[in-house]
Amino acid sequence: MLVAEQGWCMPMTRDTAAGMVHALGFSFSEFDPNDPGRLCRGRERWIDAFNRPDIEPLFRVSVSGAAFSDDSARDAHRGLQYSGLTCGRVIHALFPDAELIAWAEGAHPRTIPDEAEGVEMVERMLPRGPLRRWESRWTLFCASEEEVDEAIDAGASVILVMANPPPEEAAQVASTLPPLADAHLDPTSEGGLPEDMRKALHYLTGHRVEGIPARLFQAVALPDVLEFCEAVILIHRDKHGPCLGIYASDEIDAFEVLGSLASDVAALSVPFAIPPMLARWDRALWELRQDWDEVRDGEYPVPPAEDGVGGWGRRGPRRRRRGYDDG
């Protein structure tokens, strides 16, 4: 069960950030739901599924962050919040005029936001855990970046980017918690999303299995959800915090927006060839250094490792293969 951690989407504290270089990493790539590949290093995998011949490749924008003391990135903390940005701020900046709807599946009943709609309580049996337990699924319409962060902190794992509000239709919800189990809760099933959208979202998130690594999303379900919205944003798990996977049928022009966000929080903007939650930060920093123009961009902001051998470009081939650091 995905239980929201306090501060999961909040920026770093001043003490944690002391003496560290902040960076925002991102990549743009084609994504094949039938062959999604790896996801997050040791933290998350896709739910296995049968291939579907009826679906086409999608476009993916991956966004994460990191904080580190030098170009070896051996002490890197990985996750979007380590860039100094929150998930909500990035999402709202990329889609300022869109209707943003948060969807939670498998969230704890006690974390349901007061404004949540289409609330549904389900009793679920899971492997490697309690025989039965109560979980919730709900929808929250987010009018600001703060509300997006609050929804994710409460257990939402999907953000829908809508060009227009969805039609108002009654959802078919399951039973609510018995009064004696949680008498102070009074969830309502009114509002929410149309039943067809809920079915597509359940196809995406309803077969989740927690653990290390967690399996939270079924990639082949993304095209079904995209029939109802412009983009689907999944809250993936980087090593120490959340990161974003933004999936759409058409290409998203996000380079300038992400660069501007990084500049706003004095973070280093780092483009990656592959999703940053999969890649090595030390290698990305070395590649960025090769193209750095000190006349145009000023002094390179990432200091070299004190031992003189930590950076990617200063390591021999054997050390590279052995994985000298976990950057």
CB 261 within 8 A of CB 64: no
Residue with tokens 């990549």: 27
Q: What are the residues facing 63 on neighbouring strands? A: 26, 244
CA distance 262 to 1: 33
Residues in contact with 74: Cβ distance below 8 Å, sequence separation at least 6, in sequence order: 68, 282, 305, 310, 325, 326, 327
Has residue 327 been placed in a domain?
no
Instruction: Give the Cα-Cα-Cα angle 141, 145, 146 (nearest 5 degrees).
Output: 90
Q: Is the model more confident about 44 or about 165? A: 44
SS3 161: strand
Cis check for the bond before 213: say yes or no (omega within 30 of 0).
yes
Handedness of CA 15, 312, 300, 88 (dihedral sign): negative
pLDDT confidence tier of residue 322, bands split at 50, 70 and 90? very low
Q: Is the model more confident about 204 or about 169? A: 204
> Which pLDDT does position 126 carry in this prediction?
65
Q: Is residue 84 scored above 80 in pLDDT?
A: yes
The predicted model gives 211-221 an average pLDDT of: 89
> Which pLDDT does position 325 carry in this prediction?
43
Model confidence pLDDT, tens digit, residues 94-121: 999 999 999 999 888 888 999 998 888 8
Has residue 1 been placed in a domain?
no
> Which pLDDT does position 10 carry in this prediction?
47
The predicted model gives 79-100 an average pLDDT of: 96
Has residue 7 been placed in a domain?
no
Crossing angle of helices 255-264 and 87-94, in 10° steps, is 140
Q: What are phi and psi of 62, to 5 degrees?
A: -110, 135
Q: Is the model more confident about 220 or about 206? A: 220
CB 219 within 8 A of CB 146: no
CB 159 within 8 A of CB 148: yes
The predicted model gives 124-147 an average pLDDT of: 81
Model confidence pLDDT, tens digit, residues 22-53: 999 999 999 999 999 988 877 889 989 899 99
pLDDT confidence tier of residue 235, bands split at 50, 70 and 90? very high
**H or E element that contains 76:** none
Q: What is the DSSP letter of 209?
A: B
Q: Is residue 17 scored above 60 in pLDDT?
A: no
Has residue 119 been placed in a domain?
yes
Residues in contact with 221: Cβ distance below 8 Å, sequence separation at least 6, in sequence order: 33, 49, 200, 203, 204
Q: Is the model more confident about 298 or about 317? A: 298
Range of the domain at 224: 14-322
CB 231 within 8 A of CB 247: yes
Q: Which pair of tokens denotes residue 59? A: 């476009």
> Which pLDDT does position 311 carry in this prediction?
57
> Which pLDDT does position 131 carry in this prediction?
65
Has residue 5 been placed in a domain?
no
Has residue 52 been placed in a domain?
yes
> Which pLDDT does position 321 carry in this prediction?
45
Has residue 85 been placed in a domain?
yes
Q: How many domains does the chain have?
A: 1
pLDDT confidence tier of residue 176, bands split at 50, 70 and 90? low
pLDDT confidence tier of residue 135, bands split at 50, 70 and 90? confident
The predicted model gives 131-149 an average pLDDT of: 89
Has residue 308 been placed in a domain?
yes
Model confidence pLDDT, tens digit, residues 255-300: 999 999 999 999 999 999 999 999 999 999 999 999 898 888 889 9
Mean pLDDT over all residues of the chain? 83
The pTM of the full predicted model, rounded to 2 decimals, is 0.84
